[in-house]
Amino acid sequence: MGRIVGIDLGTTNAVVAVLEAGRPLVVANAEGSRTTPSVVGYTKDSELLVGQLARRQLVLNPRNTFANLKRFVGRVWDELEDSSLAVPYTVRANAEGNVRIPCPVTEREYAPEELVASIIRKLVDDAATYLGEPVDAAVVTVPAYFNDSQRQATRDAGRLAGINVERILNEPTAAALAYGFDRTSARRVLVFDLGGGTFDVSLMRIANGVFDVKATSGDTQLGGNDFDQRIVDWLAEAFKRENSIDLRRDRQALQRLTEAAEKAKQELSGVQSTPLSLPFIATGPDGPLHIETTLDRSTFEGLCPDLLDRLMTPVQSALRDSGWSAEDVDDVVLVGGSTRMPMVQQLLRTLIPRDPCQSVNPDEVVAVGAAIQAGILTGELRDLMLNDVTPLSLGLETVGGLMKVLIPRNSPIPVRQSDVFSTSQANQASVDIHVWQGERQLAADNKSLGRFRLSGIPPAPRGVPQVQVAFDIDANGLLQVSATDRTTGRKQSVNIQGGSNLNEEEIKALLAEAEAKADEDRRRRASIDRRNSALTLVAQAERRLRDAALELGPYGAERQQRAVEMAMRDVQDLLEQNDLQELELGVASLQEALFGLNRRLSSERRTDASPLQGIRNTLGSLKDELFSDEDWDDDPWESPSRLSDSRPNMRRRDMNSWDDDFYR
């Protein structure tokens, strides 16, 4: 049985955490960082890159590198806002109206869930490497205001990554778990979660290990990226006025602007102004064009008043739904890197008269809470209990296009609610059950989650048949709907997946394709790892040869140095020939030669650490190489005549042997 981990699947960065000896611990990735950029890319050779490696090619390869994917998960094309489409890569709709992301280098289109699955897979692999055992399951966090379609799509991404998603956990709830993990006193907490692409706010009461969520609200199309975009637009408009060139139409220029904007936003959290320098950003009639300007904090804040207004509304809505006043809140917990902006913290102080809690890391607290939830599921943590709520109202469409709410928003989950409906026409043999999610009165103004038909209703006058419709929401916030004809007992049920980018058949097809190509993928990965290891070993050999030359002189360990040089040339030749089978033997030979050289270096260091040892070794090797024992007397410098007497012996030395020694 493998381990279960907690994953914070953020828009900008992702984090994985585990429970070790009853304590949550953030796991560093293979590159040594505690956060992994939520970026997926493909090189020109169609090699998959995830995380920091993919982020590095954002500017040079923008069409094949994909970031901000979370905003597309579980959404159809018509639901996307223009700000979500301001990305350097291409986003389009397929025939069914679902979001698809084409990748030119691989010549195929990807659903957002497929690309997100690659991020989950990397996090799981890094955790498995750290733990030294396989990871089979995970608790994955999502924004509290994610609807059912987005939650289903997140679970689909986990399936495509090859793991079981044991629980879908709201991000503010996870943050509260981390915050209240060691606290025993009763507290009323507001969690303000402003990430890269989404915004959530939750109110909950924490007492004696019980986490009781009272209300939640948010905006899944608002995040730190929107603040970055304001700086991008400010720079691009100024450049356009001066040079009549719109940099946002150039993919590489747009990515450079985006990175510079993100960096400027971060720096303005600590200083009043920051320089922006983008040399060679474009080319004009007179040559290259540059951006050299300064952005101060007041100008930046003046670009974002409407975004701050959008932050206020969910906070006020959550307070209203919970029945609490602002003075009832004991602590404010900030989650997400974007909460470091001074204007956001100042706005929050005007709404809640409390200084934010600084005892948690905004970048890691959600993953820590997910790991705690994993411990609750496995039974490792027994003194904690979580009571969550559903973020949006759920209901079905009735006559006239109205929405009949069965489960109001902020209802504690898991929950089951049912109601009885009837036919609208005489002798109606079937009814359509159309499920909606949202807060508007008219069904068409809300989010459609799916529909199904209950057939076989006996003929009867209008209003006589009784059809009981039941909504079930599990602990993950996922919905199941069933309809039963009370007269015949005929029943129809469905797991709602209406808005997911991938249906069950597509998921199964992708899983089958991954399984069919698993061996090929493993071989390809093994060959890449083998080449990378060989290149690393060659670089190490070059360094060791330089060290040996400095410490022992050019001839101090000639036999070992020559063996390393020959083995290194063999490995380089095999790399050029791409002969992977022989490469493994060549690498083994190079490792053996390096071992011999290292052993010689170690022995010399033990015998003499003098700085003149390299010169002495060189002279000693020359003595051994040029003269035999009988030619070199104990005191050759006794007299000039003795020296001249020895010279014929030098001339009589076998020159073929000399050549063999130096050029073999």
70 is catalytic: yes
Q: What is the pLDDT of residue 515?
A: 63
- The model's pTM: 0.73
CATH of 3-223+307-387, one of 3.60.21.10, 3.30.420.40, 3.40.50.920, 3.40.50.2000: 3.30.420.40
DSSP code at position 110: E
pLDDT tens digits, 434-458:
888 888 888 888 888 777 777 878 8
Superfamily of domain 224-305: ATPase, substrate binding domain, subdomain 4 (3.90.640.10)
3-state secondary structure 69-93: HHHHCCCEHHHCCHHHHCCCCCCEE
Q: What is the pLDDT of residue 505?
A: 65
pLDDT band of residue 28 (cuts 50, 70, 90) is very high
> In this model, does residue 413 exceed pLDDT 50?
yes
At 562, which amino acid appears?
R
CB contact at 8 A, 5 and 127? yes
CATH 3.30.499.10 fits 394-509, yes or no: no
Catalytic entry in 8, 114, 485, 570: 8
Rounded Cα distance, 91 and 4, in Å:
34
Strands of the 40-42 sheet, one edge to the other: 48-50, 40-42, 65-66
**Local structure of 5: helix, strand or coil:** strand
Identify which of 307, 306, 363, 359 has the alpha carbon closest to the alpha carbon of residue 340: 363
The two structure tokens encoding residue 326: 């602002």
> In this model, does residue 221 exceed pLDDT 70?
yes
pLDDT tens digits, 372-385:
999 988 888 877 77
Catalytic entry in 70, 122, 214, 265: 70
CB contact at 8 A, 264 and 257? no
Catalytic entry in 148, 156, 171, 331: 171
pLDDT band of residue 643 (cuts 50, 70, 90) is very low
How large is the average pLDDT for residues 564-586?
82
Catalytic entry in 114, 193, 363, 485: 193
pLDDT tens digits, 495-551:
554 444 555 566 666 666 666 666 666 666 677 777 778 888 888 888 888 887 777
How large is the average pLDDT for residues 98-114?
91
Rounded Cα distance, 120 and 15, in Å:
10
| Main-chain phi, psi angles of 76, to 5 degrees | -95, 165
The length of the chain, given as a count of residues: 664
How large is the average pLDDT for residues 648-663?
39
122 is catalytic: no
pLDDT tens digits, 32-59:
999 999 999 999 888 899 999 999 998 8
CB contact at 8 A, 362 and 335? yes
Rounded Cα distance, 224 and 450, in Å:
31
How large is the average pLDDT for residues 69-95?
85
pLDDT tens digits, 247-274:
988 888 998 999 999 999 999 999 999 9
Q: What is the pLDDT of residue 561?
A: 79
pLDDT tens digits, 166-178:
999 999 999 988 8
